[in-house]
Structure 1
Amino acid sequence: MGKVKHEKSNKKKKGMDLSDQILEDKSVRPPGRTKQKPNRHESDEEFVDEKLSRNILEQVRLQQEELEEEHGVSKTKKSQKMTKLSVGFERDSDEESDKSDSETYIEQSIDLNQDDEKALEQFMSKNPPAQRCLADIIMEKLTEKRTEIDTMMSDNDGMQVKDLDERVVEMYKNVRNILAVYRSGKLPKPFKIIPSLRNWEQVLHITRPENWTASAMYQGTRIFASNLNAKMAQRFFNLVLLPRVRDDIAQYKQLNYHLYMALRKALFKPAAFFKGILIPLCESNCTLREATIVGSILGKYSVPMLHAAAAMLKLAEMDYNGGTSIFLRTLLDKKYALPYRVIDSIVFHFLGFSSERRQLPVLWHQCFLTFVQRYKENISSEQKEALMDVLKVHSHPEISPDIRWELLNSKCRDEVKEEPMV
């Protein structure tokens, strides 16, 4: 049987790593090597010459340094394989083995002597970095973001705002001059970014909103209603838009078209509109003219039921004034499917006037009539009797008969409907 010829390993294949070449060429012999034991069959003495051994160890060292630079990676499968290879080929073995023996030798664990251990320790880091998985990195980023948000919120709540740069103040003073004469066209870009600033109220104060033109107020309301959340939009409506609307009505006995459209845009944030404009307006004893103008916006445009129900519940519990009747009547005319809690609150609102001896305005009677027309079948029988008693105390010659007729010719919510005879 002839000997198996092995390919020479000193010719490196292109595109292959040194370790892959070694694994592929199981038998490596330097050129010019002669057989020391010619009588043995099918076996050759396998070893690595000094030059190739140095190259192997150099590659191991370079790969180990690359691994140490990574995040917490101290050892990979490839480095383990290279370590075993470097040790295995450094040891000169006189035993004869075939191809299967070589593979077994590489894959098995190797017992290292003291010299080998010292040599490998030179390539290992004495203080390896702590290993971090992807979950640890994500949690670290989330903690940093949460800390940043908490800091921003504490600054806003405590109004700990740093002094503005002089150049910023000067820029917004120029914006102030533009808004004081603005009629149409593009707005300054610094004005558009005010809602995105943490200290937007301080910057807005520099622009002097009380001096804005009506067109500028409309454009400003559009920007702030679109970019602020409900809480911040409520502050803008209450501190900027509402005073301007009331001043314009008081001075001109009517509302400017652009300011009217500003209120219309404010209604896109219904919660902020009711909390920032409607409720404060009623609490400050609004005039009938103001209530009529603001109420017309509620009557013309759509309002979500939940927000309207919450507003009616609040209005029914407030101290009475003429504006309360106007707003309640406007919202009742929208014919919402109101919860019983809201209906009961409105009933108690009218029952509260049983002990009132002053003459009530026509607006109150009109609101009373609108309520019984829309929700007469949603009240209980006890509430119906109580409302009839209120009509005995406060009566209007033209409106009260209609209210009484509506109550008498309606079924209550607690009445049991009779089943038809079979």
Structure 2
Amino acid sequence: MPKAARVAEPLHEQILRAAAPTVRNRRARDAGRDAEERDGGYVGPRLSRRILREARRQQEELEAEHGPGAPAPTAPSGRGSEEDDEDEEWPSLQRAAEWDGTGGGGDVQVDPEDEKALEMFMNRAAPLRRTLADVIMEKITEKQTEVQTALSELSGRPMPQLDPRVIEVYRGVREVLSKYRSGKLPKAFKIIPALSNWEQILYITEPETWTAAAMYQATRIFSSNLKERMAQRFYNLVLLPRVRDDIAEYKRLNFHLYMALKKALFKPGAWFKGILIPLCESGTCTLREAIIIGSILTKCSIPVLHSSAAMLKIAEMPYNGANSIFLRLLIDKKYALPFRVVDALVFHFLAFRTDQRTLPVLWHQSFLALAQRYKEDLSSEQKEALLELLKFHSHPQISAEIRRELVNSKTRDVEGQEPAVME
């Protein structure tokens, strides 16, 4: 007799079933085993490992907050083994995020004079930042005949009309993410990248209310499961606004958000198009933001094609001070750049021949980086033009070094040429 055909379960039923709580006998069994170990007058190997792991994690947190030599923590109370497995990565994340005192809980050292000079080149009429809520509301406005809106009972936010059960599930997910510290995420959240209306579903969870730890976990999921174009939208509409708001409010970046930026580089094209380029185009990137986000470029390996495209784009856009920081950091990665990118960088600096403003030290530093790394990839005409540029914009210490680098080097258009001797 043939078997009956299996009926596919509706998506919303899958979501509801996946989100439903289940009884975990394993946890009860583990708790009973621990109780037996304690009652027997000894601490078994399983409980010992958990206690040591928890004590080590607390000690690292104390050292991160108070510095080395902080008092050792007392023995923690037991927790479920599943949460311990999820928490093993957090101490290593915290260590990785503590970079030179400029991120992951460390204060960024910003020179007030440099910050003031950078503000002179900011765009005073920059457009408002777009968030995920803005995009969703635009879609709702465009399709009012198809999609009706309803007011959220909790926050008063207009919400797309979906299946009430689906909305209820993701309101529950919102509550979890607004208090999340560690452990597993709801399964209903993990399937969002596979949904065609993932932006609407994500909107229900209110990303602006997520904890920093939840933002890191969300970035892991979305960077791995979304296509590049969709990942770019998530970076630009959710991650970047959160990072900028955190830096503006606390004058530093939470280490979970810093690690989220690093994890987002899993898709470098989306990272540049969704984070770095929009940040430069906004014209409002502060020195503090540039230092923190720029450190990602220094610490991570990035394919040359993506970096080349980013340098080309930054070199051709209207100038603001943060552009010099990102260009210098990318130049210092010492890529073998195509001549087209090198030429774009040269033209970027030559465009300042008619600029009467006093340029910040950051501009001179990026100019020096170009001369140091790519002096032999320049043509003789380009070198002459750059040397002429030094007469218009000079720095007491840096310009002399730039001149020395340009004069004492070969050029790409003359074979067998010996470098000139600087007079």
TM bucket by the smaller chain? 0.5 to 0.7
| Partner of residue 239 from structure 2, selected from 233, 238, 241 | 241
Separation in structure 1 between the aligned mates of residue 305 and residue 316 of structure 2, nearest angstrom: 17
Does residue 399 of the first structure (1) align with residue 382 of the second (2)? no
Per-residue deviation, 1:283:
1.1
How many angstroms apart in 2 are the aligned matches of 1:269 and 1:416?
A: 40
> Offset of 1:163 from its aligned partner?
3.8
- Return the alpha-carbon distance in structure 2 between the equivalents of residues 301 and 416 of structure 1: 36
- The alignment partner of 2:243 has SS state of helix
Alignment of 1:410-421 (within 5 A): 410-417=409-416
Larger Cα-atom Rg: 1
Distance in 2, matches of 1:326 and 1:273, equals 17
- Which amino acid in 2 is paired with 1:288? L
CA separation in 1, counterparts of 2:354 and 2:258?
A: 39
Contact kept, 8 Å, 2:411 with 2:417, in 1: the verdict is no
**Residues 247 and 299 (structure 1 numbering): CA distance in 2 closer, same or farther, change over 3 Å?**
same
- For residue 306 of structure 1, give the secondary structure of its aligned residue in structure 2: helix
2 CA distance for matches of 1:279 and 1:315?
A: 7
- Counterpart residue identity of residue 368, structure 1: F
CA distance in 2 between counterparts of 1:417 and 1:398 reads: 31
Q: Which amino acid aligns with 2:408?
A: N
Superposition map of 1:362-373 within 5 A: 362-373=361-372
In 1, the alpha carbon distance for the partners of 2:361 and 2:161 equals: 54
CA distance in 1, matches of 2:279, 2:392: 29
- Alpha carbon RMSD of aligned pairs, Å? 1.8
Distance between the aligned counterparts of 2:183 and 2:241, measured in 1?
A: 25
Structure 2: distance between partners of 1:309 and 1:397: 31
Tell me the residue number matched to 2:216. 218
Distance 1:297-1:418 versus aligned 2 partners, 3 A rule: closer
What is the Cα deviation at residue 176 of structure 1? 0.3
**In structure 2, what residue type is equivalent to 1:173?**
R
- The one-letter amino acid of 1:299's match is T
Q: Alpha-carbon deviation of 1:418?
A: 6.3
Aligned length: 264
Give the aligned partner of residue 112 of structure 2.
Answer: none
Q: Provide the residue aligned with 1:167 in structure 2.
A: 165
Q: How does 1:151-230 map to 2 (within 5 A)?
A: 163-230=161-228
Task: Tell me if 1:296 matches 2:275.
Answer: no
The alpha-carbon deviation at position 199 of structure 1 amounts to: 0.2
Q: Deviations over 1:353-391 (max 9, x none)?
A: 000111000000000000010000001000000000100
One-letter amino acid matched to 2:294: G
SS in 2 for 1:180: helix
SS at match of 1:353: helix
Q: Which residue in 2 is equivalent to 1:275? A: 273
Query: Any idea what the Cα deviations from partners look like across 1:146-197, whole Å, max 9, x if unmatched?
Result: xxxxxxxxx9xx9777941100000100100010000000100000000000
2:333 is aligned to: 334
Q: What is the letter of the counterpart of residue 385 of structure 2?
A: A
Structure 1 residue identity aligned to 2:410: K
Unmatched segments (≥5 aa) in structure 1: 1-154
Aligned twin of 1:266: 264
User: What does 1:27-106 correspond to in 2, within 5 Å?
Assistant: none
User: SS in structure 1 opposite 2:411?
Assistant: coil
Preserved contact between residue 410 and residue 417 of structure 2 (Cα < 8 Å): no
Letter in 2 for 1:305: V
Residues 283-308 of structure 1 deviation map (CA, whole Å, 9 limit, x = unaligned)? 11200110110000011110000000
The structure, 1 or 2, with the larger RCO (C-alpha pairs under 8 Å, 6+ apart) is: 2
Amino acid corresponding to residue 386 of structure 1 in structure 2: A
Distance 1:268 1:370 in 2: 27
Return the alpha-carbon distance in structure 2 between the equivalents of residues 416 and 217 of structure 1.
Answer: 54
2:386 corresponds to 1:387: yes
Q: Would you identify which runs of 4 or more consecutive aligned residues in structure 1 move more than 3 Å? A: 158-163
> CA separation of 1:205/1:418 partners in 2, compared to 1, >3 Å: closer, same or farther?
closer
Provide the rounded CA distance (Å) in 2 between the counterparts of 1:280 and 1:418.
42
Task: Name the aligned partner's letter for residue 163 of structure 2.
Answer: D
1:344 correspondence with 2:354: no
1:104-149 Cα shifts (integer Å, max 9, x gaps)? xxxxxxxxxxxxxxxxxxxxxxxxxxxxxxxxxxxxxxxxxxxxxx
Q: Distance in 2 between matches of 1:264 and 1:299?
A: 11
Judging changes above 3 Å, is the alpha-carbon distance between structure 1 residues 418 and 180 closer, same or farther for their aligned structure 2 residues?
closer
Is the CA contact 2:174–2:206 (under 8 Å) kept in the aligned structure 1?
yes
Give the whole-Å Cα distance in 2 for the aligned partners of 1:401 and 1:201: 53
Q: Is the Cα–Cα contact under 8 Å of residues 290 and 325 in structure 2 kept in the other structure?
A: yes
Distance in 1, Cα, partners of 2:408 & 2:316: 28
Secondary structure at the aligned position of 2:188 is classed as helix
